């Protein structure tokens, strides 16, 4: 299954763009931001937390290790 959530490579200024089902939902500076973007996209907060904390295969972390957000955080 292809990832439906992509956390893109860290930006030079810090943070990572996040897309859900191909839609840009914002720039995350922490796991909490990713969880909030997923919640705003319709996922229950508990499910969103479990996905991020559990490194779900539905989330693709590009360009850096999971949970790393670059120089901004």
Q: With contact defined as beta carbons under 8 Å apart, do 6 and 19 qualify?
A: yes
pTM over 0.85: yes
pLDDT of residue 2: 60
pLDDT under 50: residue ranges of the chain: 1, 72-73
pLDDT of residue 70: 86
Q: Which pLDDT tens digit goes with each residue over 26-45? A: 999 999 999 999 999 998 88
């Amino acid at each position: 299954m292809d990832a439906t959530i992509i956390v893109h490579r860290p930006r030079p200024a810090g943070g990572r763009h996040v897309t859900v089902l191909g839609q840009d939902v914002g720039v995350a500076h922490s796991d909490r931001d990713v969880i909030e973007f997923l919640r705003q996209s319709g996922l229950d907060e508990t499910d969103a937390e479990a996905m991020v904390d559990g490194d779900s295969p539905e989330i693709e972390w590009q360009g850096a290790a999971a949970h790393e957000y670059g120089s901004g955080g």
